[in-house]
Structure 1
C-alpha cells in the first residue's frame, strides 16, 4: 500500500513556529489535521489523539497570514492548495470574517480498495457509507483510478469541493486517467452530474457526498441511463438512509402499502406495511465501519426489503489483517433466548465445499438435553430448574443435538435445509421454533423455491388457488388446526421426519419464554410444576390461580406441549385454568 500526501506543502502555509514543531514531531507522517481557532492554542490531531502545538493562543494576524498563502474560499468555505489533496476549511463570524481554520491533510493511498476490487470490476453501481473521517473520499479516489487506468473505462469525477482530485485546474495524479469536472457552487452539483452524462459520454460517474434530494434524483437519472455510479453518502448503515427522507431515494424510496387479506395472512403481518417504492439507485452498498473493516451488502434491494419487513440482513464482513490478507466472513443474526438480534460472524472460507450437517439429526431423533446434577438428584427446586432453563446458552450451539453428522434428506428426498412456504402462520413464531430447536428449515417467500407448504387448515379450505398451485408443483401441504407453538413444532417435526421425543425436551420450554414478563413466567412456572409434579405422576386434575386471558392462553399452549387437556372456567377476573390428566 503506497501513500502520497505532499505534507510539506500544507506545513508551508502554517506560522513558522507551528511548522517547525510539526516537522520535528515523531507522529508527523500520521497527522490528520491542524486546527487554528482565534484566541485558542493551536492543535494538531493524530489518530492517537490531539495535542497542542504551542502555549500561545492563535492571533488574527496568524489566521490572515495563512489565508493569504491559501487563496480565496468558495461558497462552501473550503479552499485548497494547488496540485495537492489538502483541504482548508474556514469558520466565520457573523460578519463573515474568518476566525478559525481546519487544515486537513489529504493523502492518496494506493491499494485501499483491495477489499472490494471484485465488486468494482462487476460494473455495478456502488454506494459507500461511513462516518466522516473513515476514508470514503480516499477509497473513492482509488476506485476512480482503478477503473480508469487498470480497467480502461471512461471515468468522470464530479468534484464539488476539489477534494477528490485536488485544487487547481490540473487534477492530482492520484486519479489516474479519470477526468474531473469542477462545480462552481455546491448547489449546482446535480446539474453538473447531468451535464457530465449528456456531454462527455462517461462509462462511470464518481460522486462524493450525495447530500440533497436533487443530487439523489440526478443519481437515479444517471443510473437509469446505464452509467455505472460510484458515490458516497454520510450515514453509518443502510437503516440511516431508509429513515432519511432526503436520501431514501438512493435505496429505492419508501412508501406505505395496504395489503390484501390473503397477502397479509401469507406474510403473517398487518395490512399496512412499508415497502420499497422503486429499484435502488445503487446495486451494492458498502458500510465502512473502520478503515480495515467493511460490511458489504451484495444485493441492496434484498437488504432494504428485509429491513422493511423486520429481518436483519446477513451481509459480508471484509477485513484486512496486519499482513495484508483479506478475510471474508458472513454476519449472521442469531436467535438465542432473550438475546434478540445478536450478531455472529461465520467464515466463508469453506464456501462451496458442500453442505455440512450440524449433527442434530445423526440418530433421526431429537435427544433431550441432560438435566443438571441437582435435578437428577431431586435436590433442585422447581423455580431453580426453571431459571436454569432461562439461563441455558447451549441452544445457540448447533452441536448440542448430537455429535455425529451426516447428510440428510427431506420428506421427498430433497436436500436440507428444507424450504417452507408459510401461509397464514405467524412468521415470528416460526422463526422462534426454528431458531430455538435449530431445525434445518428456511422460510421462503416464493412458492417456486419451496419444498413444502405450512398453512392453517381454515385458510387452505378457503383457498382453492393455493391447493391448485401446490398440486401443480407437487408440494405437500402440512396443515395446522391452530397456529400455536406446540402445533408448529409438531408440524415441522413431521415435515422433517423427526420422531416425537418420549421425554419432555427442555429446549422446547424455551419457546414459551420469548418476551415473557415476570408475571407470565410465574404463571408458566405454576403450570409446569402442576403438570410435572401432580397431573402426570399422580393422575389428578389441578386448578391454577386466576390469570388474565393472555396469560391463560400461554398456559394452554404449555399444557398442550405436554399432550394434556385444559379448560378455562369461572368468571372474570377469577377465570382460571383446570388441567386434566391424559
Structure 2
C-alpha cells in the first residue's frame, strides 16, 4: 500500500484474523476497500470472533447503575469496540437480491442494543431495472423514536430566533482522509468532542487530509481533489498529535468562517428592519455594535436604498446609525 499507492483494493473471501487485520490496516491508509467475507448476514460477522473486527470488534462492557437504568437493561452488555473497517455492508440474498446496510457502525450499535434495524432491499427485475424498498430486521414497525432513548436526547424546539443559530452551530465539517489512519482521526474527534464527520466520497467532503508521503507523490486522487477545488491539508506524520493539531485548526477555522457569515447575515437583516422603521416615520435608528468590515456592509446596504448612515461611538461599541429622509 505504501509503495504502490493504490486507490482501490479488492479482497476476495476474508476468512482469517490475519486477513481481517490486514483489511483494517489498508482501510486506515485511506484506500478504497472492496471485499467479501465468510458469512451470510451481518449478524454472522458480529457473532464471529475472528471476523468481528471488520465491523468494529465486539467487547463486553459493564455499565454503571445510572447508565443501566437509562438503557433499561442489564449491567453487562456488548458494545462495538472501534470504528468498522467497512462503512457499507451488502448481504447477498440470491442472484438478483441484496440487502444493503449503508451505515455499518450505526447498524451494529442498534443490533447490540436489540433495537430494530433498517436496511434497504435492492432487487434486479427481469426488465433490468433496480428496485429499492426499506426493510426492518423484525416484524416491528419502523419506530419514530426508541422507547429507551433518554429524555436528554429529546430534540429541543428552538424559538424562531434560535433556529438559525442552532443550525449554524451544529453544522459539521466533512473530512475525507487519504493515507491517514482513519481510526486515529475518529478517536481524536471523539476525545475533542468536535463536530466533524468522516466521509468516503470526494464530492461529499469539505476538505481532504493526507500525509506528506502521499502528497509528495502527487497521486491522481489528490490531483482530482485539487481539480474539484477541495482544500488538501498535509500532515508531516501520521501520528495522533499531528492529527489532533489538524482537527483543532480546521474546526476553529470552520467555526470562525461560519460565525463571520452568520454575523454578516444578521447585520444585513438588521439594516432591512431599520429601513422599514424609517418608512414608518422614525428619523434615526441605531444598529448593534459591529466590526469595521460589517459596518461597511451596513453602510453600503443603506446607501443602495437611498438612505444616509453614519458610524457612532468607539470600538468595541462603535455602531451604524441609519438616518431617515
- For the aligned pair, the TM-score class normalised by the smaller chain equals 0.3 to 0.5
Q: Which has the larger radius of gyration?
A: 1
Report which of the two has the higher share of helix: 2
The answer to which structure, 1 or 2, has the higher relative contact order (CA under 8 A, 6+ apart) is 2
- TM-score for both structures, normalised by structure 1: 0.26
- TM-score for both structures, normalised by structure 2: 0.45
